[in-house]
Chains A and B, each alone.
Chain A
Amino acid sequence: MASHSGNHYFVPHGSIYPALISVGLLSMASGFVFNVTGADTRMDGSIKNPALSYLATPGKYMMYIGLAIILVMMFKWLSAVVTESVTGQYKKWEDKSFRIGMIVFICSEVAFFAAFFGALFYMRVLSVPDLASYAPDITPYKDFLSTWPSQGPGGTVLGESYKPNPSFHPMTWSGLPLINTLLLLSSGATITWAHWGLIKNNRKQLVIGLFLTIALGITFLCCQAAEYHHAYTEMGLTLKSGAYGATFFMLTGFHGFHVTIGTLMLIVIWLRSIKGHFTPEHHFGFEGVAWYWHFVDVVWLGLYIFVYML
């Protein structure tokens, strides 16, 4: 066993968790495909999509089992990392690896959201106005309205008649979205306040700050759930409502998913803070989560401006 001076790089023992997570991913992905295409067996043994009866797989259960494997293995993997951290295996050199790695990971997340923002701009600036600008005798999309938010087709499209939903109206920027913005912005402030507490070694400020951040995150998610419910039941705004519905729900949905992940990570470091982990000098676990949280915050500001306000 090596002595752990600052110049030793920690290379962990072999680990089975990554390979098992991959098994979970395979199970979850293929289960999802079976489920969504209707190759699932129903309770009574029949198949939703008879054309796929040759598959007849328990797709739904494969999804759940896969997800369970992934979650358990990630828990064990991260527990191993936490154990290595609190037993002092990670020094400055390892710490720098984690920092660069986290920054690069967040960059890849930015690229993922960029795809959906790109789709929003493309449809709003190019394809929706284009579709409405064609002379009626050369386009199958005869009564297409170039309005934003576009709620999708109206009139006759390729022989199918679409009726605009009379109750449809777009999201406003005020009200719930504004509250959500304030919630996330203040959560960015509370986590910074918690960080100051950690640096000053004021553990109480750290724990309270993290608790407030988690509370704000969960409140945000509840507000978003209420907003979705309102959209589906009263505004006639669904995932199927044309370009606007698709971009609105995919952008806010993926953002909400990231907030959920971020909240889970916050809960973990909150519990670790209560247990006395992290020192004023050495707390990458905290900072990594804080960076992620700020990233989620910034994405929301982009959403608020381009999806809700403009």
Chain B
Amino acid sequence: MSTTTVAHHDEHHDHPTGIMRWLTTTNHKDIGTMYLTFSLIMFLVGGSMILGIRAELFKPGLQLMNPEFFNQLIGVHALIMIFAALMPAATGFANWMLPLQIGAPDMALPRLNNWGFWILPPSAILLTLPFTLALFGVGDGALATGWTFYPPLSVQGGIGVDFAIFAVHLLGISSVLGSINIIVTIYNMRAPGMTLMKMPMFAWGWLITAFLLIATIPVLAGAVTMLLTDRHFGTHFFDAAGGGDPIMFQHLFWFFGHPEVYILLLPVWGFIPQILQTFSRKPMYGYKAQVYSLWAIGALAVVVWAHHFFTAGMPVPALLYFMYSTMAISLPLAVLFYCWIRTMWKGSMSFETPMLFTVGWIILFGVGGLTGLVLADVAADAQYHNSYFVVAHFHYTLFAGGIMGIMAGVYYWLPKMTGHMYNEKLGKLHFWLTAISFNVTFIPQFFVGLAGMPRRIPDYALQFAEFNMISSIGAFVLGLSQLLFVYIIISCVKGGQKATDKVWEGAEGLEWTLPSPPPYHSFTEQPVVK
């Protein structure tokens, strides 16, 4: 096959410097860096919010804040962590690594790419502005409905709900733009010879994520638009007085909300097998089985939404359908787990920080998946619904399965991005601190949840005091150890041992054929994949 060459409009580094470089950039690496930085900042913002909650829950009774403020902390924490920390982190990796992995000169639609990022800061402002004002005693603060916006509370809420609605609109636009760009890049920018079934798994994970975003984010936009018109223009979508139904909002919201879980996780499932094969020094096990499992999960993701509100009231056939279809997701997921473990099987493994995070991730995410099966059972869910068991479950999937996966990716690719090795000792310390304090935080929450402690309530019965105290201590250790993460990243950007091109002994893939850090414009001549 002939080699195709790729040229840039400007071959030289004649891009502007300073702030204008970042405001105007069309370079996928610059945009990826901005996404990742934004994500890290918002991760700390969202994390400090939840420390406020854990401080309040340290002992029974109301100590630090009134219940309204507590509710706002919970809602804004979730929205920030999901939309402003996890999703931008995955998009940042896509920007940095997809073109390198598939041998593309850049993302397919570079200006659109820039716009996708620059919508995020305004939406973060919209999301946090009423909250910040309330901190200074001005106004009545952000939305106090939790991140799910359930009416009628959200219809009656104050100006914070309106701000959150528009924040979600902007975040949605950003996600749709990012998804369009990623789908186009994957379909149109692959190096000659790289067929779809030769793509890196990360590209597969993101391709299916992008399809899920395209199918579900506009539905969320529609749902919050109906909320806005219910609030201000007299429609009756969620008002039974006019023939509407508050539960309809739950259907619309979770039609987006459940696929959102996979939107957060699929990119991670993409690069985790790559990390496993690198540090097991043997090829990925079951590539095809993994691809088909990702597709199966993507397809099932959009038909299982109502398991989030079994207790809201549904006909029995609907309950049964949503229960069985939800449980069906565990089949392709089990295939994935098998492939991940089988990739390590009899490999010559070494445990650098990315691998530590990955192995820890498999175990902890496994706990998240299994507790999800319990919640999918209609009869059991009546007991567990809205309890701390649910909180513990989705933090095992979204913190362990999402953020710890992202951290594995950060350690895996940081030397490639910066050209320096991070501090391995500190990295390992960060892993152990994170993994242990995470479990100290959330294992007690399973127990208090099973014993009946409801979520989203600032006070609790006395018998839950010890477990909550343990959980709060764990949360503060967990939060503070992330400062170590920030320190490791900053010192790695600033300097450190020079990274080789391949960085890891067992690394495979096009991104490792480039220098570390890669040149500003990479693959101006597309490689040919055999």
Contact = CB atoms under 8 A, between A and B. Distances in A.
Interface of A: 1-4, 7-19, 21-23, 25-26, 29-30, 32-33, 36-37, 39, 52, 54-55, 77, 89, 93, 96-97, 100-101, 104-105, 107-109, 111-116, 118-119, 122-123, 126-128, 130-131, 141, 144, 150, 152-153, 157-158, 160, 162, 238-246, 249-250
B11 interface: yes
Contacts of A89: 9
Interface string B183-219: 1100111000000000000000000000000111111
A122 B226 contact: no
30 contacts: A2-B8, A12-B26, A14-B20, A14-B25, A18-B114, A25-B119, A25-B122, A29-B126, A30-B126, A33-B159, A36-B162, A52-B159, A54-B138, A100-B108, A105-B176, A108-B180, A112-B221, A115-B218, A115-B226, A116-B222, A116-B226, A119-B248, A122-B245, A127-B240, A150-B243, A238-B234, A239-B234, A240-B233, A240-B242, A246-B237
Contacts of A13: 9-10, 26
A122 to B, nearest CB: 5
B24 A19 contact: yes
Given A14-B25, A19-B24, A115-B252, A157 B241 contact: yes
A111 B251 contact: no
Contacts of B109: 97, 101
Contacts of B10: 1, 13
Most buried by B among A11, A23, A30, A54: A11
Interface residues on B, range: 35 or more
A119 B184 contact: no
B341 interface: no
Query: Counting chain B CB atoms within 10 Å of each CB, which of A29, A30, A126 scores highest?
Result: A29
A77 B111 contact: yes
A39 B133 CA distance: 15
Nearest to A95: B188
Interface of B: 4-11, 15-16, 20-21, 23-26, 104-106, 108-112, 114-115, 118-119, 121-122, 125-126, 129, 133, 138-139, 159, 162-163, 166, 169-170, 173, 176, 179-181, 183-184, 187-189, 214-219, 221-223, 225-226, 229, 232-237, 240-245, 248, 251-252, 255, 521
Given A111-B215, A150-B243, A152-B242, A104 B24 contact: no
A18 B30 CA distance: 15
B163 A33 contact: yes
Q: Sorted from nearest, which 7 A-B pairs have the closest CB atoms?
A: A2-B7, A115-B222, A243-B243, A18-B115, A14-B24, A26-B122, A112-B218
Contacts of B114: 14-15, 18-19
A22 B119 contact: yes
A140 to B, nearest CB: 8
Given A29-B166, A54-B139, A246 B110 contact: no
B521 to A, nearest CB: 8
B119 to A, nearest CB: 5
B159 A37 contact: yes
A3 B7 contact: yes
A64 to B, nearest CB: 17
A30 B521 CA distance: 38
B359 to A, nearest CB: 36
Residue with the greatest number of chain A CB neighbours at <10 A, chosen from B23, B115, B119:
B115
Given A119-B226, A150-B243, A239 B26 contact: no
